[in-house]
Amino acid sequence: MSAHNPQLQWWKTGVVYQIYPRSFQDTTGNGVGDLNGITERLGYVADTLGVDAIWISPFYPSPMADFGYDVSDYTDVNPMFGTLEDFDRLLAAAHHRGLKVIVDWVPNHSSDQHPWFVESRSSRTSPKRDWYVWRDSKPDGSLPNNWQSEFGGPAWTYDEGTGQWYLHSFLAEQPDLNWRNPEVVAAMFDTVRFWLDRGVDGFRIDVAHYVMKDPALTDNPASQDPAGMAHFKPMGPFNAWEHVNDRGHPDVHGVYRDLRSILDGYEGDRFSVGEIHIFDWDEWAAYYGDGDELHMPYNFSLVWAGWNPTAIRARIEAVEAAVPSHGWPNYVLGNHDEQRLATRYGPENARAAAVLLLTLRGQPTLYYGDELALREASVPPGRQQDPWGIRVPGMSRDGSRTPMPWTPDPGHGFTDPTVAPWLPFGQDAATRNVRVHLADAGSILNFVRHLLRLRRNRPSLQRGTIAILDDVPEDVLGYVRRFDGEQTIVLINFADSTQMVPAAPTATLLAATHDGGSLLGDGMAHLAPHSAMVIDPGPAA
Ligand code: GLC
C-alpha cells in the first residue's frame, strides 16, 4: 500500500527505537548483550512498547577500540554478538512482528585492523595505498595540516614503516577511507548491497558528512566562537576550530545520490538516515537533495537546546523552515553519544520530553531506556570504557550506554547475576526497571506506551501539519497538529508553577504526564509544573 501512498511509508509514520547491542540483552552470560538477546526481546519492543522499527548500533567484527564503530569486516557479525545466521533469525523474527530493521553503516573509517588498511599501510606501493588518506610531512617535518580528531589530538598518525601520515577523524584505530578513490566507493557500496540482499530495511549512516573533505586538505580556521559552539554540542577542544575543510565538502552529495539510487533499486521502502552534526540548517537540509539523496539527515537540534520553551520553539521553527517540501523531518532527543535525556533535561521533565519527541512532526527516534527515564549512570574510574572519556576529561559516553534493567533481581534480567556486565547498571536499577514499571500504572514506561498507541491511532500525530501556538503563556510551548479534519493540541509547561491555557469546552484529554495534576475544566487547561498534555479540541470550529 505504501508504495502507492508515499504518505504512509513506514519511515514517515513510524517510531524508531535505537538498540545499543552491547547493553540490551545478554544470552551467553559474558556480561555483553548479543543479537539473540535482541531477538528474545522483540516482544517487548514490538508489542509491549509498540514501536515500528529498530536501529541496531554496530555488531560487526571489530577490535572495539570505539565499541564497534571501528569495523574490521563490513559483511559479518562479531562472534561476541553472534553469527550471520543469528542476524538472519533476528531479521526474520522482527519482520514477522511487523518491525523494520535499520543497521549502522560506518563509511568514513574502518578499523586499522581491517585487511584493507593492513594492506594499505604495508608499503607505499601497495595496491590499496590510496584506499586511505596518506600524506608526507610538511618540509619542516610537521603534520600535513592542522586537523584535529574528534576524540582529541591531531587527526594524523605517523606510520614509521612507510614514513607517511594517515588521516583519522576519530581514533588512530579508525583510519579514514578515501572516498575519492572509485575502488573504495565500489567496495563500500558492495557492503550496502550485502545487507540489502539479506533484507535490511535501511541504514543509519555514521558521521555521514565526513566522507568528503577538502581535496587540498586546507587547514581549518580557528573558531570565532568556541563557547557558542558548545551551545550546539559540547565537544571539548574540538570546538576550537571551524570544521569547514575536514568534512562536508560539496562532493559528499554525489555519494548520497549514488547510495540513494542503490536503495531505490531494491523492493520495499529501503531507508537512509545520516548522522550529520551541522547546525547551519540550509547546509544540513542539502542532504535531502532534490529527494534523491538521504531520506533524512538526523535532526539533533533539540539535544542541547536546554529545557527552555523559547530555545526549543526557535529550533523547531528553524528546522521546519529548512526541511524541503519533499523532505520529512525527524527528531532525536537522546542516543549512545549523548548524556541521558532524564539527566540532561532534568528528571522532572522526562515525561514532558517524551510527549515532545512523540508528538512533533516527523520521525522520532527513541533511545533504549529513555522509556524508563534512565538517568546518566555514574561509572567509577576503574570501569570506564569509552575511549573519548578516557582521552578527554568530561566527554565520557559510558553513562548513557549502561545495560537495560529488565527486572529488580541481581543481573537485572540482562545477564547472569554472577557476572559483571561490561558497564555497571544505573544506580537505581532495583526500582527503575521494566518489570517494576510495567506493574505500576503510573510509571513513565506505561505513559510512553500510551503515547505510542495514541500516536499510532491519530493520523494528525503521525502525519499532520504543525503550527506553533502564540496565545499561550511564555513558559508554555503549544502546538497543533492537523490532518484531514482531525486536530491534536500539545501543551508543555516548562515552569515550576501551574500554567493555565484556554481550551475549548468541547476539548478532551488524550494524554497527561501528571495524573490528576493536569486537568481540563472551566474552558481552561490547568498544567501542573513540568507537565504536558495532549488534547483533542473537538470538532474544528
Ligand atoms: C558517531 C557514532 C559514535 C562514534 C563516532 C565515530 O558519532 O555515533 O559513537 O564514536 O561516530 O565512529
CA atoms within 13 A on the CB side of 76: 9
Residue 111 and residue 118: Cα distance in Å, rounded?
9
Atom nearest to 337 CA in ligand 1: 9
* pLDDT tens readout for residues 281-294: 999 999 999 999 99
Atom nearest to 151 CA in ligand 1: 10
Tell me the average pLDDT of the chain: 96
Q: What is the model's pLDDT at position 206?
A: 98
Residues designated catalytic: 206, 275
Residue 256 and residue 102: Cα distance in Å, rounded?
17
Residue 370 and residue 340: Cα distance in Å, rounded?
8
Residue 258 pLDDT greater than 50, yes or no: yes
Please tell me if the CB atom of residue 176 comes closer than 6 angstroms to any atom of ligand 1.
no
Please tell me if the CB atom of residue 70 comes closer than 6 angstroms to any atom of ligand 1.
no
In the block, which residue shows the cell 522482527?
A: 94
Which stretch of 13-22, 31-40, 217-226, 281-290 has the lowest confidence by average pLDDT? 217-226
Atom nearest to 171 CA in ligand 1: 6
Please tell me if the CB atom of residue 345 comes closer than 6 angstroms to any atom of ligand 1.
no
CA of 68 to the centre of ligand 1 (A): 9
In the block, which residue shows the cell 497527561?
A: 512
Amino acid identity at 481: R
Please tell me if the CB atom of residue 24 comes closer than 6 angstroms to any atom of ligand 1.
no
Q: What is the mean pLDDT of residues 437-444?
A: 98
pLDDT tier, 143 (very low <50, low <70, confident <90, very high otherwise): very high
φ and ψ at residue 477, rounded to 5 degrees? -105, 125
Q: What is the model's pLDDT at position 518?
A: 62
Residue 37 and residue 81: Cα distance in Å, rounded?
9
Residue 363 and residue 341: Cα distance in Å, rounded?
18
Maximum pairwise Cα distance, the chain: 80
Q: What is the model's pLDDT at position 380?
A: 94
Q: What is the model's pLDDT at position 112?
A: 98
Please tell me if the CB atom of residue 337 comes closer than 6 angstroms to any atom of ligand 1.
yes
Residues 6+ apart with CB under 8 A from 190: none
Residue 230 pLDDT greater than 90, yes or no: no
User: Could you tell me if 464 and 489 are in contact, meaning their C-beta atoms sit under 8 angstroms apart?
Assistant: no
Closest CA relative to residue 77, chosen from 133, 42, 46, 36: 36
Atom nearest to 66 CA in ligand 1: 10
Three-state secondary structure readout of 356-399: HHHHCCCEEEEECCHHHCCCCCCCCHHHCCCHHHHHCCCCCCHH
DSSP 132: B
* pLDDT tens readout for residues 332-345: 999 999 999 999 99
User: For ligand 1, atom 12, which residue shows the shortest CA distance?
Assistant: 69
Read out DSSP for 265-327? TSSS--EEEE------HHHHHGGGTTTTS-SEE---TTTTS-S-HHHHHHHHHHHHHHS-TT-
Closest CA relative to residue 336, chosen from 397, 275, 427: 397
Residue 288 and residue 275: Cα distance in Å, rounded?
13
User: Could you tell me if 412 and 369 are in contact, meaning their C-beta atoms sit under 8 angstroms apart?
Assistant: no
User: Could you tell me if 493 and 499 are in contact, meaning their C-beta atoms sit under 8 angstroms apart?
Assistant: yes
CA of 490 to the centre of ligand 1 (A): 33
Residue 246 and residue 250: Cα distance in Å, rounded?
12
pLDDT tier, 203 (very low <50, low <70, confident <90, very high otherwise): very high
* pLDDT tens readout for residues 297-330: 999 999 999 999 999 999 999 999 999 999 999 9
* pLDDT tens readout for residues 52-105: 999 999 999 999 999 999 999 999 999 999 999 999 999 999 999 999 999 999
- Report if pTM > 0.75: yes
Q: What is the model's pLDDT at position 2?
A: 47
CA of 12 to the centre of ligand 1 (A): 25
Q: What is the model's pLDDT at position 540?
A: 63
* pLDDT tens readout for residues 159-200: 999 999 999 999 999 999 999 999 999 999 999 999 999 999
**Rg, Å, the chain Cα set:** 23
Which grid cell sits at 388?
573519548
Residue 249 and residue 3: Cα distance in Å, rounded?
33
Residue 445 pLDDT greater than 70, yes or no: yes
Atom nearest to 388 CA in ligand 1: 10
DSSP 154: B
CA of 207 to the centre of ligand 1 (A): 7
Residues 6+ apart with CB under 8 A from 234: 304, 394, 395
User: For ligand 1, atom 9, which residue shows the shortest CA distance?
Assistant: 337
Please tell me if the CB atom of residue 69 comes closer than 6 angstroms to any atom of ligand 1.
yes
Which grid cell sits at 449?
506506551
Q: What is the model's pLDDT at position 228?
A: 73
CA of 66 to the centre of ligand 1 (A): 8
Please tell me if the CB atom of residue 207 comes closer than 6 angstroms to any atom of ligand 1.
yes
Q: What is the model's pLDDT at position 441?
A: 96
Atom nearest to 277 CA in ligand 1: 7
Q: What is the mean pLDDT of residues 383-403?
A: 94
Q: Is residue 382 packed enough to be buried (19+ CB in 10 Å), middle (13-18) or exposed (0-12)?
A: exposed
Please tell me if the CB atom of residue 170 comes closer than 6 angstroms to any atom of ligand 1.
yes
Please tell me if the CB atom of residue 370 comes closer than 6 angstroms to any atom of ligand 1.
no
Q: Helix 182-198 to helix 252-264 angle, to the nearest 10 degrees?
A: 30
User: Could you tell me if 524 and 503 are in contact, meaning their C-beta atoms sit under 8 angstroms apart?
Assistant: yes
Q: What is the mean pLDDT of residues 198-211?
A: 98
* pLDDT tens readout for residues 50-60: 999 999 999 99
User: For ligand 1, atom 2, which residue shows the shortest CA distance?
Assistant: 206
Read out DSSP for 218-277? PPPPBPS-HHHHTTT---GGGGGB--SSSS--TTHHHHHHHHHHHHHTSSS--EEEE---
Q: What is the mean pLDDT of residues 388-417?
A: 96
> 230 in the Ramachandran plot: left (φ > 0), alpha (ψ -120 to 50) or beta?
alpha
* pLDDT tens readout for residues 216-227: 999 999 998 877
Q: What is the model's pLDDT at position 1?
A: 43
Residue from 66, 71, 210 to probe ligand 1 pocket by mutation (most atoms less than 8 Å from CB): 66
Residue 457 pLDDT greater than 70, yes or no: yes
CA of 69 to the centre of ligand 1 (A): 6
User: For ligand 1, atom 7, which residue shows the shortest CA distance?
Assistant: 207
Residue 488 and residue 464: Cα distance in Å, rounded?
9
Q: What is the model's pLDDT at position 517?
A: 60
